[in-house]
Chains A and B, each alone.
Chain A
C-alpha cells in the first residue's frame, strides 16, 4: 500500500531504493548523505529489504563494488556527496563506459578547501561530464519518485547508463516533507527486473572492462554519446509511464511563468523552489519574469530548453558552483553555448550564489531579478556576478 509519511529527502530516497528491491548496496558514510545508507542498513537489518549491504572502506570502493555487482547482473545502489564523489571520480567514467545501470543519489555539498559540509553544486559540477545521466530534483517527493524512475531509465536496453539523482545537501537532504511512499508491488510492476544481455555469467562468459587501442576507443566513447542522445525521449516515456501508474508527471524541466517573460531565471534544485516566490513578488510589482528549472541536466535536451528560453530578452542564470578561471558558472556556460550560433538570442547574466551553504533567500533572488532587468535596460556591465560575496561591489 502507498503510505503517506513525513520524510527527509534522504529517507525518501531510502524508501524508494527499498521498494525497487535492490540486490546490492555499497555504502560509505559522508555528510550530508549518511542517513540514506543508515536507513537502508536498518531495512536490511530488520529484513524489510533482501539485499547484500557492503559497508565498504571508501567511496572509491563503494562505486567499484556496485560496478562489480551490476556487472554480475544485480540491481545496485550507492549514495555519496562532496569529497566522496570526488574520490569516485575516475570510477565514474568506468561505470558509464561499461554501460552499467547503477543508480546513485548525491546530496550535493561543496568541495574542500576550506572544509565545509554545507550545500552547493561544486561536487557534481566537477564530475559533470562523465557519461552519467544527471537529474536534479527539488523536493523529497520528487527525489523518491525520481529514484524509481531512474531504475526504469537506466535499465532500458537502449540506454544502459548510470544515473545520479542530485539534491541539495541539508536544504533538501535533511528537510522533512510529506511524501507519498509508492506501493512496492506497483513500483516493481513499473520497473520490473530486466535481463541484460551482457553480464558476468559462467554459462555465457564475456570479457568486461577491456583495454582498447586508438583504433577502437573512440567508437566505445561515441556509443556513450549516442546512448545519451536517446535519454531525453526515453525519460519522457519513463515519466509518462510513471504518470500512468502513479498519477504524477515531472517532465524534463519545469517552467514557471515563462511564456511572456522578458527575463527568465534559470536555476537547479532547491534554489528554484525559493525562486518561485521571488518570481511571484516581482510579477506583483509588474516585472515580467519567469523561472526555468532543469530537471534532466545531463544530457541537456538542447532544443527543448531553447524552445522555452529563446523567447526571453535576458536569461539570469544562477550557478551554485564556481568554474574557477572559466567564463562563468557551469550552467551559464552550457546555456551560452546552446545559443552561440543563433543571430538572435537573449542576453545572459550569470549569478554565482549559495556557495558553501550560504543562504539564497527570496530577497536575494528578487535582487538578482532586478539586476537582470537593470542590465537589460542599461546594458550589461558585468557578465558574471559573484552575488553576495563580501568585499566586491558591482555597482548594480
Chain B
C-alpha cells in the first residue's frame, strides 16, 4: 500500500515492511531509518539503486539481503547513471508493451554524501540534467563513514575526521560544507528538498512528493552517524533534532522554483547545544563555537530572506 497524504502521525505509515531487520548497520544508524521509511512510503512498486557505501555493504552481504524490493548496487560513483538506465529500461519496455503496462514503477537512488557530493557528483549532474524520472536521496552523514570516517566535501567546518585531525596546525576541517541541494537545484529540476529523520512526517511527505513529480527530484536528508560523529547510539534522533532546532539543518523544499521552509523554527537553540553532543566537535574552543554560530546566523539570515519571513527565529538560550 502506498502512503497517502492524510497521514497525521508516523503511526499512519503503511504497515508493510520492505527493508528487513537483521541488516548489519550499526546500532543507532540513521541509514536504516531512512531506507525503511523510503521503502515504506514508495513500496512495493519500487526499484532501489544504492552505490557502494555503508548502506550497501551492510544490507547485501551474500547470501543474505535486507531488501524485499528489487535492489541493485554497481559502483561508488555511478548510482545516478545506473538509475538512469533502470528508468530508461522501464520507459522503453512500457512503451513497447513488453512490461509494467499502466503501472508506475518508482526508481530511487539512495546514496551517501561521498557518493553524491564527491565521486558521484558528475553522474548525478548528468542524470539531473537529462531529466530522468527518478528520485535521488542523499543520506548526509558528513564523511566517508564506510572506510572509517574520512572527510568528504560534505563535512562541515571544523569537524574532526580521520583525515581532518586536530593538531597544532589543523583544527578539524578547514573548509566549509559543500551545498549539494543548491547544486541540485541549479539544474532547474522540479523538486529539491532537505529533510531530517527527526521530522519523519515531513520527510515522508517529501519522499512521496518527489516520487510523484514527473522528472528528477533530489532529497538531501540529514543522517547523524553515532560512530563517526562520536555520540551514543541512543541519541541519533536527538542529534538530528538539534541540527534542525539550531538552524544548522534547515528543512525546506524547492518545488518548481518556489522555495518554502517546511519546518519553521521560531526560536533557535545555540549551535553549542548541537556541537557539544558530538565528539567530532569536542576540540572546539569558546571562540571557535562563536565562529560557527556567526556562520550559522549568516546562513539563517539568507534563508529568511529567501523565505520572505522569519522562518528560522533568533537564538534563545534556555
How far, in Å, is A83 (CB) from chain B's closest CB?
15
Which residues 69-122 of A sit at the B interface, judged by CB distance below 8 A? Answer: 69-74, 76, 90-91, 94, 98
Number of interface residues of A (CB under 8 A): 45
Q: Is B82 in contact with A65, judged by CB distance below 8 angstroms?
A: yes
> Could you say which of A33-41, A52-60, A323-331 contacts chain B?
A52-60
Q: Quick check: B47 and A57 within 8 Å, CB to CB?
A: no
Q: Which of A26, A202, A213 contacts B44 (CB 8 A)?
A: A202
The residue in chain A whose Cβ has the minimal distance to the Cβ of B61 is A211
| Contact residue among A52, A202, A205, A209 (Cβ-Cβ distance under 8 Å from B74) | A209
Complex: A19 Cα to B162 Cα, angstroms: 54
Q: Which of B45, B69, B99 contacts A73 (CB 8 A)?
A: B99
Q: State the Cβ distance, B9 to closest chain A Cβ, in Å.
A: 28
Contact between B57 and A207, CB atoms less than 8 A apart? no
Contact indicator B89/A61 (Cβ below 8 Å): no
Residues of A within 8 A of B71 (CB): 200, 205-208
1/0 per residue B30-62: CB within 8 Å of A?
A: 000000000000001111010000001100111
Interface contact B60-A68, CB-CB below 8 Å: no
Q: Is B302 an interface residue (CB 8 A)?
A: no
Would you call B96 an interface residue if the criterion is a C-beta within 8 Å of the partner chain's C-beta atoms?
A: yes
Contacts of A23 in B (CB 8 A): 88-89, 92-93, 96
The distance in angstroms between the C-alpha atoms of A76 and B84, with both chains bound, is 13
Interface size grouping (class) on chain B:
35 or more
**Is B78's CB under 8 angstroms from A202's CB?**
no
The verdict on A68 contacting B57 (CB below 8 Å), with A57-B126, A94-B75, A202-B47 known, is no
A202/B92 contact (C-beta < 8 A), A67-B85, A210-B62, A212-B61 known? no
A394: Cβ under 8 A from any B Cβ: no
A51 within 8 Å of B (CB atoms) = yes
B306 interface contact, C-beta 8 A: no
Task: Tell yes or no: A50 within 8 A of B by CB.
Answer: yes
- Selected from A62, A67, A212, the residue in CB contact (under 8 A) with B62 is A212
Chain B residues with CB under 8 A of A51: 92
Chain B residues with CB below 8 A from A52, complex form: 88-89, 91-92
Answer yes or no: A143 CB below 8 A from chain B CBs: no
From 101 to 153 in chain B, residues with beta carbon under 8 angstroms from any chain A beta carbon are: 105, 122-123, 125-126, 129-130
Contact of B88 among A50, A65, A206, A210 (CB under 8 A): A65
Contact partners of A60 in chain B: CB under 8 A: 77-78, 81, 123
Is B230 engaged at the interface, CB distance under 8 Å to the other chain?
no
Determine if B86 and A72 form an interchain contact, defined as CB atoms under 8 angstroms apart: yes
- B192 contact set on A, CB distance < 8 A: none
Q: Which residue of B lies closest to A24 (CB)?
A: B88
Which chain B positions have C-beta within 8 A of A218?
none
Contact B68 A205 (CB under 8 A): yes
- For residue A81, give the distance in angstroms from its CB to the closest CB of chain B: 19
Q: Tell me if B85 and A72 are in contact (CB < 8 A).
A: yes
In the complex, what distance in Å separates the CA atom of A185 from the CA atom of B75? Answer: 37
Is the Cβ of A200 less than 8 Å from the Cβ of B62? no
Cα distance, A209 to B72, chains bound together (Å): 6
Q: How many A-B residue pairs have CB under 8 A?
A: 166
The minimal Cβ–Cβ distance linking A49 to chain B, given in whole angstroms, is 11
Interface centre among B46, B67, B84, by most chain A C-beta atoms within 10 angstroms, is B84
Q: Which residues of B contact A73 (CB under 8 A)?
A: 89, 93, 99
Contact A61 B84 (CB under 8 A): yes
Say yes or no: A68 contacts B126, CB within 8 Å.
Answer: no
B73 on interface, CB distance cutoff 8 Å? yes
Q: Is A72 touching B90 in the complex (CB atoms < 8 A)?
A: yes
Q: Is A273 an interface residue, CB under 8 A from the partner? A: no
Contact partner of A69 (CB less than 8 A), chosen from B70, B85, B99, is B85
Q: Does A201 contact B (CB under 8 A)?
A: yes
A74, A207, A211: the one within 8 Å of B93 (CB): A74
Asked whether A91 lies within 8 Å of B74 as measured between CB atoms, the reply is: yes
For A207, give its contact among B67, B84, B92, B105 (CB under 8 Å). Answer: B67
| A24 contact from B62, B70, B83, B85, Cβ within 8 A | B85
In the assembled complex, the Cα of A70 lies from the Cα of B82 at a distance in Å of 10
B126 and A61 form a contact (CB under 8 A)? yes
Distance of A52 Cα from B123 Cα, bound (Å): 18
Once bound together, how far apart are the Cα atoms of A91 and B68, in whole Å?
A: 26
B22 interface residue (CB < 8 Å to A)? no
A57 touches B122 (CB 8 A): yes
Residues of chain B lying within 8 A (CB to CB) of residue A71: 72, 82, 85-86, 89
B60 near A211 with CB under 8 A, answer yes
Contact A200 B70, CB 8 Å, known A58-B122, A64-B123 = yes
Q: Is B95 an interface residue (CB 8 A)?
A: yes
Docked Cα-Cα span, A206 to B48, in Å, equals 11
Cβ distance A170 to chain B, nearest Cβ, rounded Å: 29
Q: State in angstroms the CA–CA spacing of A193 and B45 once bound together.
A: 24
Interface presence of B164 (CB below 8 A): no
- The minimal Cβ–Cβ distance linking A50 to chain B, given in whole angstroms, is 6
B75 touches A69 (CB 8 A): no
Shortest Cβ distance from residue A78 to the other chain B in the assembled complex, whole angstroms: 10
22 A–B contacts, CB within 8 A, in A order: A23-B96, A56-B81, A58-B123, A68-B82, A68-B83, A68-B87, A69-B85, A69-B88, A69-B92, A72-B93, A73-B93, A74-B93, A200-B86, A201-B70, A202-B46, A205-B68, A205-B70, A206-B70, A207-B60, A208-B70, A210-B62, A211-B60
Residues of B that sit less than 8 Å from A by CB: 44-47, 49, 56-57, 60-63, 65, 67-75, 77-78, 80-93, 95-96, 98-99, 105, 122-123, 125-126, 129-130
Query: Could you list which residues of chain A lie within 8 angstroms of chain B, going by C-beta atoms?
Result: 23-24, 26, 50-52, 54-58, 60-62, 64-74, 76, 90-91, 94, 98, 193, 200-202, 205-213, 216, 220
10 A-B pairs with the lowest CB-CB distances in the bound complex, closest first: A68-B85, A57-B126, A61-B81, A72-B89, A64-B78, A74-B89, A65-B85, A69-B85, A64-B81, A52-B88
